[in-house]
Amino acid sequence: MRITQRLNNNVVLVEGESEQPMIVMGKGVGYKAYPGNLIDETLVERRFILKNEPKSEIDKAATLISEIPLDYIKLSDTIIKLAEQELQAEFGLSMLISLTDHIYSAVDRKKRSITIASPLHWDIKQLYPLEYQVGEQAVAIINQEIDIELDDTEATAIAMHFISSGNNYESIQQAMNVTKVISDIISIIQYHFQIKIDQNSISFSRLVSHLQYFLIRQVKGIKMMDMSEEMIRVIINQYQSSFQCAEKIIRYLETNHQVKPPLEEEVYLTMHIERVRQTEN
C-alpha cells in the first residue's frame, strides 16, 4: 500500500493493490511518511475503505483526525461495524466523521457535568428498537473503553445517527422532526380507536416504515403513484373509520406543519391504519 496523503503520525490515506483508497490507522504509521512511500503494514491497526467518497468528506475526515485522538476514531469504527452487522446496512466515511465527533463531544460534556435533554428518548426507543439497541450497545462499549459512565439518553443520540443515515433523511435534525411527527400520528390513531398498539407487531413496524416515507415524500415534494377514482371510492367506503382517522391526521399535519398531502396519500394511509386496527381488535 502506497501513501497518497499523510493525515497525522497515526493516520494516512493510502491506495491499496486494487487501487481502492483507504484510510489506514495505527500508532506511528504516519511518522515520517511521505506520498509515494510504502507503509509499514505491521503498524496497521484499522483500515477504512473509501467507497466513492467525495473529496469534501475526505477533507472533513482529515480535519477531524487532526483534532481528535485516534482512540475515539477507532472506537467509532468499532461501533459502526457493530451497527452494520446488526442493522444489515453499510455506512460510509460521513458516518465515521459524525459519530466520532459526537462521541468525543459526549465524553467531553460528561467530564464537565453538562447534561443535554433528549425529548425524543421514549419515541426513538419505541419507534426504532433495533437502532436503539445498537445505541445501548455503543454506550456500553464507550463506557468500558473510555472508563466513563455516559447517561442512558446517549443511546438515543447515537441511534439517531444510524436512523438518519438509513432512512433517506437529509440530516439528523430532519430525522428527529419526522420522529416527533410519527409519534404524534400514532397517538392520534390510538386515541381515535381507543386502543394501545402492540409496538412489537409486524403491522406496527410496517406502519412506522410507511409513515417515514410518507412524511419524506411530503418534505421533498415527491408525488406517489396515482390511484383510480374507483379504487379510492372503494377503500373510503370499506374502511370508513380508518379513513376518518386518516382525515384527523391530515388536519393535524395541515394545522401544525403546513403540510397538505393529496387524497391518494390519505387513502394509502387509510389502508395502513386499517391493517393496524384489525391487528389490535
User: Residue 240's pLDDT is what?
Assistant: 95
User: Residue 249's pLDDT is what?
Assistant: 96
User: Residue 186's pLDDT is what?
Assistant: 94
pTM: 0.78
User: Residue 52's pLDDT is what?
Assistant: 67
Domains of the chain: 1-50 (2.30.24.10), 54-166 (1.10.1790.10), 172-280 (1.10.1790.10)
User: Residue 281's pLDDT is what?
Assistant: 64
**Long-range contacts of range 65-69, CB-CB < 8 Å, 24 or more positions apart?**
65/7, 65/8, 65/11, 65/23, 66/7, 66/8, 68/100, 68/101, 68/104, 69/104
DSSP calls for 38-96: BP-GGG--EEEE-SS--HHHHHHHHHHHHHS-HHHHHHHHHHHHHHHHHHT----HHHH
Angstrom distance (rounded) from CA 29 to CA 34: 11
Whether 236 contacts 243, CB under 8 Å: yes
Q: Which stretches of the chain score pLDDT less than 70?
A: 16-19, 52-53, 117, 166-168, 281
User: Residue 17's pLDDT is what?
Assistant: 66
User: Residue 197's pLDDT is what?
Assistant: 87
